[in-house]
Amino acid sequence: MNTWANRRDYLFRSTKGLIALAIALIALITAVWGTLSGPMAEWGVRDITIRILGMDIHPEQREGRIIMLYHVIAMAVVAIETYMITSTVRMSKEEQGNINGLVTIGYLLTMFFGLGFAYFGHNYAFHGLFILGQSLLFFAGCLLAKVLWPWNKSTYLEKGSPYAKTPKGIDLERVAFFTMTVATLGSACFGAVTGSFWGNGHETFLAEDLIRLPHKTPLQLSIIGHLHIMLTLVAVAITLLVGRWLDFKGIWHKISMPLMIFGSITITLGVWTVVPYQNLAHTIIYVGAVFTMTAALMLVIFGWKKLISERLAEQGITKANVFQGIRALVHDPLKFGPLWQMVFMNFTVSGVGIFMAIKLDKIFRIWPGREERITLTGHWHILAALIATIIILYYADMCGLKGKARQWFGWVVIIGSDIAFASITIFSMKRGFVSTYDQQPLVDWTMIFADFGLGAIMVVLAMLLLWRIYDFMNEKGAWQQESGELQLDRITAEKKDSVETEEVVR
Amino acid sequence: MNRMKVITLMTVALLAGVSTGTACAQENRKIPIFDTGINPNSWVTVAKGDFFKGQHKKETAVNYDYEIMVTPVTNAQYAEYLNSASAKGTITTKDNKVFGFYPGDKFHKYKHEFEIKAGDKLHMALDAQGLAIEARDGKFAVKSGWENHPVVQVTWFGAKAYCDSKGGRIPTEIEWEKAARGTDTRAYPWGNEITSAHANLYASKDPFEKGFGKQGTTTPVGFYNGRSYNGFQTKDARSPYGLYDMAGNVWQWSGDVFPKTHYRWMRGGSKSNYDFELRVYNKNSAGPDFHEIDIGFRCAKNK
């Protein structure tokens, strides 16, 4: 009996257990719901899924279903990032427990009742619980913002700290986390307030369906801003978390954090400005994006240097040539991967987005609206999926993957995702270099490569999760040791140890 | 070494498996010829009255009766029109392109708006891929087998000129949608379910996809009428007013010219789209000089 209680505590109270549960649920949903569209629908798998699960799907509800599915997955990702924040940023056990508990109940309510409402009959009690779940997440966010308050003197950094701080000692990384959290809460309101007008001036729509309308209502603009800024802030959060994971510090950290704070504020205000001043908003957003991306570049430079120097030191090489340096850099795919994905993002997300902005009227708006829509949705989905791969790589590292398993898992995720996202980018931009008439072979090729890449990731993730389930069934499994671990890594503890406070998690 | 061989073989097999080369242009290849029994010259009357517009089913009034073509305009019909219009001098052909006069649109200088000035506008590029109409000995003719397929690669200007010549117009979005949906709230012209037997859509495995890939080619107008074609059983996919091809096959231009934008809207989805694009309220858009292998039109006129 105690064993099962321990298992429950692991899944619902330990950081690694909570993250594992959320990743497993997202993976399951992705695998099942992925059969409802694209090639899976072509092959008839969609019909089988609908029949077996007893889904109740009406064509006119497609947009609403998709929006709820986005929220279901997004809330679970927000939960994962919150678990990571509460376990790597200094706060008391009580605060961590309160926030994690609210987030967990919130995303589970959102997930089960959101999917229940969207795909299994429109039971409005389920819709209410879906909203309640998100409300709890919002409340947890408010608590997190309070806990992260960076002007609490007990969180100040000591003189000589290698981390970014003000002359008074204010921890600028904490300010960055705080800024991101507050910006997320404010941006969530843009969706929530608009949602409250549903049926009373607001109607369900997908943003990509409005792209060519000369006039959009304030509620529509609000939603367009909401979805863009939420994903951007999820990306900012994961960048900060990767920094924690790799113990980002020193001069690069000191340059990066102010840029990230300023960039997060600017980009958020820019997106909020979309509603009253749409034309001006884009300029502000571009400025903010330059700062946040430069901050991320600092992390990449720091991280790559660190990976190389640590590996070379392990090998006892004091003067390495270029090839030795590259080998050292890619030695550990789980740590190289997240940084590489941030670089790769520039080709498949930022690059595409900037190119679209520059050539919108000359290229993309000459195409049929449907093709422009594919490019838009393509590069945003890729950003979301890139963030997911970074989380997966981080989780694999948490699990303590070693040896060949570590190498295979890391490289399959990196190469599989990059093949898939490059293929999807080519697919989404196909109109630029092949006519509709000639596009079928290209469509077939890119779909095969995209499915192959994504399928490979799903397979290795499934193997990792199966291993974790097997371990979970074993009374003396690794989960037993992980149960009591509220912190994610040694680095956090070291950093925290530099500040004396009774409330700090030790 | 052995591992490399296996990887190489697998790669070759993968590449061979996805290769669907188009050695010969679609319109020059032999295609199945089917008589659907539907007369493309027929029109139906849509009686005045309210209908439910769009995804959110807004009750919308249409205070007049109008007529609308039962099928999209075919290659044969358009070629005949080109010959007639050429003889009358309302269109001109230059550099393998057909042009006609358009009086222009009011320009609002709005963001992303292109100015449509008065002048000769492109109606059809005779060298466009997938076009089954050709100029032969000074006359326009249809390539064999494509006569009863919907005309494609025609611009909005070309569609308007055709409908004008028949004393009609391109249907407005509202006219098109009411004709497709009728007076209830169905998502597709025939109801709420869609299968590959209802319409020509992407990967629908119709007889015209064989050899042409999942995008396939257009199907003859009125193809989905409940008949069986060489074993391919279709369902009767008429709209409540008896219109065919209101979902799939070709996108259809709508006639509205909205302020602050030069875009023209299209309805119905095409052979290149998944099923959700075929819902009666789904839209596509492009400039009025745009033409494509899956864009056609039909006409409407006042009763």
Q: Cα separations (Å) of A117 from A69, A102, A471, B265?
A: 10, 22, 34, 33
Residue B300 bridge partners (DSSP): B68, B169
Give me the pLDDT at residue A443, please. 93
Regarding whether A254 and A310 lie in a shared domain, the answer is: yes
Regarding whether A161 and A135 lie in a shared domain, the answer is: no
Residues of A in contact with B290 (CB under 8 A): 366, 368
Regarding whether A364 and A395 lie in a shared domain, the answer is: yes
Regarding whether A306 and A358 lie in a shared domain, the answer is: no
B41-302 maps to CATH 3.90.470.20: no
Cβ separation A440–B188 shorter than 8 A:
no
Token pair recorded at residue A348: 């498949």
**Amino acid letter for position A64:** G
Quick one: how far is CA A86 from the chain centroid? 16
Closest B-chain CA to A364: B286
Q: Which of these, B278, B252, B292, B287, lies nearest to B172 by C-alpha position?
A: B252
Nearest-by-Cβ selection for A59 from B261, B279, B290: B279
Percent of chain B clearing pLDDT 70 (strictly above)? 91
- Token pair 């591992």: residue: B3
8 Å CB contact between B111 and B145? no
Q: Cα separations (Å) of B142 from A112, B26, B210?
A: 57, 14, 22
Shortest Cα distance, chain A CAs vs residue B48, angstroms: 25
Shortest Cα distance, chain B CAs vs residue A361, angstroms: 6
Beta carbons within 10 angstroms of residue A33's beta carbon:
19
Cβ separation A212–B263 shorter than 8 A:
yes
Regarding whether A120 and A188 lie in a shared domain, the answer is: no
Q: How do residues B250-284 score in pLDDT, each as one tens digit?
A: 999 999 999 999 999 999 999 999 999 999 999 99
- Token pair 């009255």: residue: B49
Q: How do residues B10-50 score in pLDDT, each as one tens digit?
A: 655 555 554 444 446 766 778 899 999 999 999 999 999 99
Give me the pLDDT at residue B29, please. 74
Domain's final residue, options A114, A133, A148: A148
Cβ separation A441–B22 shorter than 8 A:
yes
Beta carbons within 10 angstroms of residue B37's beta carbon:
8
Closest A-chain CA to B204: A42
Q: Cα separations (Å) of A274 from A186, A213, A229, A277, A385?
A: 14, 15, 11, 5, 25
User: What whole-number distance in Å separates Cα of residue A266 and Cα of residue A283?
Assistant: 10
Cβ separation A58–B192 shorter than 8 A:
yes
Shortest Cα distance, chain B CAs vs residue A491, angstroms: 40
φ and ψ at B58, to 5 degrees? -85, 125
Regarding whether A297 and A178 lie in a shared domain, the answer is: yes
Q: Cα separations (Å) of A373 from A117, A207, A214, A367, B283?
A: 27, 9, 16, 10, 12
Q: Which of these, B156, B158, B132, lies nearest to B145 by C-alpha position?
A: B132
**Total domains, chain A:** 3
Instruction: Kindly report the average pLDDT of chain B as a whole number.
Output: 92
**Amino acid letter for position B193:** E
- CB under 8 Å to B123, separation ≥6 — which residues? B91, B98, B99, B100, B154, B155, B157, B158, B161
Confidence of residue B8 (pLDDT cuts 50, 70, 90): low
Note down the domain range covering A34.
Answer: 10-148
Cβ separation B129–A62 shorter than 8 A:
no
- CB under 8 Å to A164, separation ≥6 — which residues? A171, A172, A173, A253, A254, A256, A257, A258
Regarding whether A363 and A397 lie in a shared domain, the answer is: yes
Q: What is the DSSP letter of A171?
A: B
Regarding whether A138 and A220 lie in a shared domain, the answer is: no
Give me the pLDDT at residue A151, please. 96
Domain's final residue, options A94, A123, A148: A148
Indicate whether A3 belongs to any domain: no
The series of mean pLDDT values per 10 residues for chain A, 506 residues long, is 82 93 96 91 92 94 96 98 96 95 98 97 96 98 98 94 96 98 97 90 92 92 95 97 96 98 97 92 93 97 97 94 96 97 93 87 89 91 96 95 96 98 95 90 94 95 95 89 69 47 36
Tell me the Ramachandran region of residue B27: left when phi exceeds 0, alpha when psi lies from -120 to 50, beta otherwise.
alpha
User: What whole-number distance in Å separates Cα of residue A89 and Cα of residue A244?
Assistant: 9
8 Å CB contact between A499 and A154? yes
Indicate whether A396 belongs to any domain: yes
Regarding whether A78 and A133 lie in a shared domain, the answer is: yes
Cβ separation A214–B111 shorter than 8 A:
yes
Token pair recorded at residue A465: 């999760």
- CB under 8 Å to B189, separation ≥6 — which residues? B180, B181, B237, B238, B239, B240, B243, B246, B247, B280
Cβ separation B214–A443 shorter than 8 A:
yes
Give me the pLDDT at residue B4, please. 61
| Domain ranges, ordered by start, for chain B | 41-302
**Amino acid letter for position A479:** W
Indicate whether A5 belongs to any domain: no
Domain's final residue, options A318, A348, A366: A318
Cβ separation B261–A63 shorter than 8 A:
no
- CB under 8 Å to B231, separation ≥6 — which residues? none
The helix (run of H) or strand (run of E) holding residue B102 is: strand B97-102
What would you measure as the largest C-alpha separation in chain B, in angstroms?
77
Nearest-by-Cβ selection for A441 from B20, B276, B295: B20
Closest A-chain CA to B55: A60
Indicate whether A326 belongs to any domain: no
Q: How do residues B145-201 score in pLDDT, each as one tens digit?
A: 999 999 999 999 999 999 999 999 999 999 999 999 999 999 999 999 999 999 999
Residues of A in contact with B202 (CB under 8 A): 42
Q: What is the DSSP letter of B171?
A: P
What count of Cα atoms within 13 Å lies in the side-chain half-sphere of residue B151? Answer: 30
Beta carbons within 10 angstroms of residue A414's beta carbon:
22
Residues of B in contact with A37 (CB under 8 A): 274
8 Å CB contact between B43 and B163? no
Cβ separation B129–A214 shorter than 8 A:
no
Residues of A in contact with B189 (CB under 8 A): none
- CB under 8 Å to B53, separation ≥6 — which residues? B59, B60, B174, B177, B178, B281
Indicate whether A181 belongs to any domain: yes
Q: b/e for A485-499, b at 16 or more Cβ within 10 A?
A: ebbbbebbeebbeeb
- CB under 8 Å to B119, separation ≥6 — which residues? B101, B102, B104
Give me the pLDDT at residue A495, please. 53
8 Å CB contact between A223 and A203? no
- Token pair 């003067």: residue: A319
Indicate whether A325 belongs to any domain: no
8 Å CB contact between B279 and B198? no
Beta carbons within 10 angstroms of residue A432's beta carbon:
14
φ and ψ at A40, to 5 degrees? -60, -40
User: What whole-number distance in Å separates Cα of residue A345 and Cα of residue A388?
Assistant: 12
Whether pLDDT at B62 is above 50: yes
Residues of B in contact with A213 (CB under 8 A): 261
User: What whole-number distance in Å separates Cα of residue A12 and Cα of residue A25?
Assistant: 13
Regarding whether A28 and A16 lie in a shared domain, the answer is: yes
ipTM over 0.95: no
Give me the pLDDT at residue B213, please. 86
Indicate whether A301 belongs to any domain: yes
Regarding whether A307 and A159 lie in a shared domain, the answer is: yes
Regarding whether A429 and A349 lie in a shared domain, the answer is: yes
Ranges assigned E (strand) in B118-172: 119-125, 133-136, 139-142
Percent of chain B clearing pLDDT 90 (strictly above)? 85
Closest A-chain CA to B263: A212
Residue B302 bridge partners (DSSP): B66
Mutate to test the interface with B, among A51, A56, A436 (most CBs of B within 10 A): A436
Closest A-chain CA to B285: A369
> Chain A: which residues have CB within 8 Å of chain B?
37, 41-42, 58-60, 62-63, 203-204, 209, 212-215, 279, 360-361, 365-370, 435-441, 443-445, 448, 452
User: What whole-number distance in Å separates Cα of residue A267 and Cα of residue A294?
Assistant: 13
Indicate whether A4 belongs to any domain: no
Cβ separation B56–A204 shorter than 8 A:
yes
Mutate to test the interface with B, among A60, A217, A279, A371 (most CBs of B within 10 A): A60
Nearest-by-Cβ selection for A60 from B187, B266, B295: B187
Cβ separation A59–B22 shorter than 8 A:
no
